């Protein structure tokens, strides 16, 4: 990969809570136009890694560079290049979809003259065209997830980070959200944090496996599956049988 294709560069991240490390010496890059799956058991350090990348929490050591901007030295510029969907959806149930997206757009500093066009485009991309006047609290879990993704892409960031994007959805909703992520990958690089093997196999180009706070695998999925390996067997081997 050429250097200018690197959108995220993570070097030596560590985060400790007292004597316990959540992650330790985590390093990887994310390239333009790829879908990266961060895979690991519950409690492996996936969410901690995502939150540090997005500037939600600070690492004890290491660096995060987003599209040429250090998350500590230039947080505003770095965060402008990221759209983040945390596992706990940042939604306001008493707002309509339109009101919430308008609020999200204003927070992202989208100019008034382009605001309405941006919201219309965002709703179209996320399959929310007919939900604008509905209260968020009255939407299904799948549509709430779409609204969460919509707020993450409202400012058209080059990088989208999704933490457990299909958690709690029924099978039909899972398929719909996966199709949405494939569509979004045409214009954005995407990091998906998950503990679901089939999620990674279905949509990711590359997989990182994290276990007990350490990256234990970083490989393109086609290469990993080219031999007799299955993602399940590799994952179980690397995590000591965790699931």
Q: What is the pLDDT of residue 3?
A: 46
Range of the domain at 17: 1-81+158-243
How many whole angstroms separate alpha carbon 132 and alpha carbon 119? Answer: 10
- Last-in-domain residue among 132, 156, 180: 156
Count of structural domains, the chain? 2
Same domain, 8 and 64: yes
Task: For residue 46, give the CATH number of its domain.
Answer: 3.40.50.300
Of 4, 73, 13, which is closest to residue 213 (Cα–Cα)? 13
Same domain, 38 and 118: no
Residue 46 CA from chain centroid, whole number:
10
- As averages over each run of 10 residues, the pLDDT of the chain (243 residues) reads 74 93 95 92 90 93 95 94 90 96 93 91 91 96 92 93 87 88 87 89 94 95 86 89 55
Per-residue pLDDT tens digits for 6-26: 899 999 999 999 889 999 999
> How many helices and strands, by DSSP H and E, does the chain display?
9, 10
Same domain, 146 and 164: no
Q: What is the pLDDT of residue 186?
A: 86
Q: What is the pLDDT of residue 4?
A: 60
Same domain, 105 and 207: no
Q: What is the pLDDT of residue 229?
A: 80
Same domain, 233 and 178: yes
Same domain, 11 and 71: yes
How many whole angstroms separate alpha carbon 110 and alpha carbon 90? Answer: 19
Q: What is the pLDDT of residue 185?
A: 86
How many whole angstroms separate alpha carbon 22 and alpha carbon 34? Answer: 26
């Amino acid at each position: 990969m050429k250097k200018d294709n690197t959108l995220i560069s993570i070097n030596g991240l560590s985060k400790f809570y007292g004597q316990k490390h959540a992650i330790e010496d985590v390093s990887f890059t994310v390239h333009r136009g790829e879908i990266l799956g961060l895979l690991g058991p519950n409690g492996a350090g996936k969410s901690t890694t995502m939150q540090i990348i997005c500037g939600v929490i600070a690492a004890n050591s290491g660096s995060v560079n987003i599209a040429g901007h250090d998350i500590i030295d230039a947080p505003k510029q770095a965060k402008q290049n990221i759209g983040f969907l945390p596992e706990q959806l940042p939604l306001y149930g008493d707002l309509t979809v339109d009101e919430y997206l308008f609020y999200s757009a204003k927070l992202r500093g989208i100019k008034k003259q382009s605001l309405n066009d941006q919201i219309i485009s965002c709703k179209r991309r996320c399959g929310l065209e007919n939900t604008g006047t509905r209260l968020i609290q009255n939407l299904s879990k799948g549509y709430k997830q779409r609204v969460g993704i919509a707020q993450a892409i409202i400012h058209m960031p080059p990088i989208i980070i999704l933490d457990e994007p299909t958690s709690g959805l029924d099978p039909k909703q899972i398929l719909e959200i996966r199709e949405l992520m494939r569509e979004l990958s045409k214009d954005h690089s995407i990091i998906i944090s998950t503990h679901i093997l089939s999620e990674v196999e279905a949509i990711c180009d590359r997989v990182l496996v994290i276990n007990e706070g350490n990256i234990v695998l970083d490989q393109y999925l086609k290469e990993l599956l080219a031999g007799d390996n299955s993602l399940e067997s590799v994952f179980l081997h690397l995590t000591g049988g965790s699931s």
